[in-house]
Amino acid sequence: MLRIRGTVGAMPVDLTVELDDSDWAKLGAALGAQSQSEQSPAASLTPTAKPQNQDDAVWQVAQDLLRKAGKLSGPDLLEQLEGLTGSAAAGKRLLVRLRHSSQVKVVSSGDTPLYSWVE
């Protein structure tokens, strides 16, 4: 499930999209085709393996989000993860999971940590 929150003009938007395995595959294929025409294959948003369940799918998207950005401050990353999951608690859990991932480097710079994707 993806939750999209924000505004369109002055109107608030809160949209929840539920996808099954075939929908995730179609979305990944569409994003992969789009990103390959616009970017290098290394920057592709397509997950490297098919998600086993909903939590794995969200985890893949969270990793892809940081991978694509390269570097994000802790507050910015948390805001995007909260938007992805639809809750502050789930966003914080993903942030902690990213912090402990071997592919993420966290550097404390003043008041906010800086999260970087390491290839």
Q: What is the pLDDT of residues 72-109, one digit of tens each?
A: 999 999 999 998 888 889 899 999 999 999 999 999 87
Q: How sure is the predictor about 56, in pLDDT bands with cuts at 50, 70 and 90? A: confident
Count of the separate structural domains present in the chain? 1
CATH number at residue 40: 1.10.10.10
Question: What gap in Å lies between CA 32 and CA 17, rounded to an integer?
Answer: 20
Q: Report the relative pairing of strands 112-117 and 2-8 from DSSP bridges.
A: unpaired
Q: SS3 of 32, please? A: helix
Q: How sure is the predictor about 54, in pLDDT bands with cuts at 50, 70 and 90? A: low
Q: What is the pLDDT of residues 4-35, one digit of tens each?
A: 777 778 888 887 777 777 777 777 777 776 55
Structural domain that includes position 58: 2-117
The residue whose two tokens read 């942030």 is 95
Q: What is the pLDDT of residues 107-116, one digit of tens each?
A: 987 888 999 9
Q: What is the DSSP string of 35-81?
A: HHHHS-GGG--S-SS--SSHHHHHHHHHHHHHHHHSEEEHHHHHHHH
